[in-house]
Amino acid sequence: MKLVFQKIGLRYLLNLGVNHQLDLQTSVRVQLANLIAILGILSNIQYSILFVIAGAPNVWIMNCIHLSVITIFSYILYLNFKEQYSLARILLIFTISIPLVFVSFISFGNSGGFYYYFLVFALAPFVLFSYEDKFWILLVFLTNNLFYIWFEFFGTPGKFQEGTLLYDPKIQELFRVNSVVSCLFFVALIMFYFLRNTNRIQQEMIRTNQHKDRIFSILAHDLKGPIGTMNSYLGFLNETLPDREELLVALRELKKSTNQSYLVLENLLDWVRNESKKIPTHLEYINLYTVTQNAKDILELQATDKGIQWQIQLSDPLMVYCDERMISTVLRNLFSNAIKFSHPKGTVTITSVTGPKYLDLSIVDMGIGMSKEQIRQIGEGKPFPTAFGTQGEKGTGLGLLVCTEMLRNQGCTMNVTSSTNHGTKITIRIPNSP
C-alpha cells in the first residue's frame, strides 16, 4: 500500500507541510487537513461528472462552483506546504460546505441526500483544531447542524427535467444511498486515520517517558560517582595542606572525574538532541588524524592510569568529509569504551584503510569483548544494559547508541566484530568526498 501511495504521489500530498519542527499532534492535524482537501478535490470532480451524466438542474453553474472549490482545496494544500497551517484549516472548514449549500439550494433541494454531508462536516473541526481553537470548532459545528436541520425539515425536493436520469425516482434514491455510503466512508476514513495517529501519539508518549526515566537514571547514578569524587578531593584540598605527591594524586583524580562527567553529559545532550531531531549536521573536509589525536589526548589520563598503550597507525594528513564535532564525539566514545573494557596494560590499535569513496577507520582492543546479543542491539540502534569495565568502570549505555545515530546522520556506517573474552574491533566507514 505504501508503494502504491508513493507511486501516485498521495503519500507526498498527505505530508505537505509536515516537518521535524512540528510536534506530533500538529503533524497529525496537518495530515488530516491534507487528507480532507484531497478527498474534497476527488469528490467534487466525481460529482461534476455525475451531474452532467444525470442531467442535474443548473449543472453548469454547479460545475463552475465545483471548479472554484477544487481551486481553493488546491490552495489549501499550498498553504500547508508554506506552513500557514491556521489559515489553511480555517479556509478548509468553510470551503467544504460551499458546494453542499449550492447543490441543496439551486439543484437537488433535499433530494439525493446531499445535506447529510453537513453532519459529517460538523465533526471535521474536532479533528482539525486543538481545544484552544474551540471558537472555530463550535462555530462550524453549529453552522453545519443548522444547515442540516433546515434542509431536513424545511427543504423542498429538487425539480428535475423530464427525460433526464434524475427524473426517475430510482436514480434519485441511488443518489441518496450514495450520499449515505459516502458520508459513512468519509467518517470511517478520517476516524481511522485519526486513530492511527492517536496510536502514534500514545507510542511517542511512552517513548518520551522511557527517555525521561533513562535521563533521570543517568543523572542520579552515572554522574553521582564522579561528582562525589570531585567533592571529596576538593574537600580534602580545602581542609589540609597536602604535599606535592598528594596534590598530584588529587588533581589526577579530579581530572579523571571531570572528563568522565563531561563525556556523560555530552552523550546525554547529544542523545536528547537526536531524539528531538535538533542536531544540525555541518559536513566539511577535516583532517581525521588531528581529530583522532585530540580524542586520544582527552582520554590519555585514563589510559595511562590503566597502563593502556596506544598504537596509532595513521598518516598525516588523513582527509575525510564529515561533521567534525560529531566525529570527535564518536571517537571519544569509542576510545573511552576501548580503554574501559581493555585489561590493564592492554593495547588499543587504531588503523585506517583508504578506498576510492570511503575511508575505514578501525579501533581494536583485546578486552572482554561483547556478546552476539549486544552486537545485535547496537545494529538495531537499541540501548543495552550498562556494562562494567575491567576495573569496575561504569558507563551510561548511551555511548554506542549516540555513535550509531551520529554516524548515520553523516552518511557513515559502523561495523562491530567481537566475541566474549576475545576483544572488539569497531570499524567506521567515513566518506572521502561529498
pTM of the predicted structure, to 2 decimals: 0.54
Residue 186 vs residue 322, higher pLDDT: 322
Cell 423530464 belongs to 162
Tens-digit pLDDT profile for residues 2-55 = 444 444 467 888 888 888 777 777 888 888 889 889 988 988 898 889 888 888
CATH number for the domain harbouring residue 427: 3.30.565.10
Residue 144 lies in a domain: yes
Last residue of a domain, one of 207, 226, 254: 207
pLDDT of residue 8: 47
Residue 324 lies in a domain: yes
- Average of pLDDT values for 76-101? 90
Taking 70 as the threshold, does the pLDDT of residue 418 lie above it? yes
pLDDT of residue 361: 92
Taking 60 as the threshold, does the pLDDT of residue 217 lie above it? no
Asked if 193 and 92 sit in the same domain, the reply is yes
Domain residues for the domain of 349 are 282-431
Asked if 174 and 63 sit in the same domain, the reply is yes
Torsion angle, CA of 382/388/394/399, rounded to 10 degrees? -30
- With b meaning 16 or more CB within 10 Å and e meaning fewer, what string describes 324-358? bbbbbbbbbbbbbbbbbbbbeebbbbbebeeeeeb
Residue 130 lies in a domain: yes
CB-based contacts of 330: which residues, under 8 Å, 6+ apart? 402, 403, 406, 407, 428
Q: For the chain, how far is it from start to end, CA to CA, in angstroms?
A: 34
Tens-digit pLDDT profile for residues 142-156 = 999 999 998 888 888
Asked if 315 and 190 sit in the same domain, the reply is no
Asked if 55 and 150 sit in the same domain, the reply is yes
Based on the structure, what is the number of domains in the chain? 2
Asked if 27 and 143 sit in the same domain, the reply is yes
Mean residue pLDDT of the chain comes to 80
Asked if 297 and 189 sit in the same domain, the reply is no
Dihedrals φ, ψ of 429, to 5°?
-105, 120
Residue 374 lies in a domain: yes
Residue 215 lies in a domain: no
Last residue of a domain, one of 188, 207, 226: 207
Tens-digit pLDDT profile for residues 93-130 = 888 888 888 888 888 888 888 888 888 888 888 888 88
Last residue of a domain, one of 191, 207, 223: 207
Tens-digit pLDDT profile for residues 192-202 = 777 777 777 77
Asked if 32 and 179 sit in the same domain, the reply is yes
DSSP character for 343?
Answer: P
Asked if 44 and 187 sit in the same domain, the reply is yes
Taking 90 as the threshold, does the pLDDT of residue 280 lie above it? no
Residue 387 lies in a domain: yes
Residue 244 lies in a domain: no
Asked if 189 and 309 sit in the same domain, the reply is no
Residue 189 lies in a domain: yes
Asked if 201 and 288 sit in the same domain, the reply is no
Cell 580534602 belongs to 236
Asked if 197 and 331 sit in the same domain, the reply is no
Asked if 39 and 187 sit in the same domain, the reply is yes
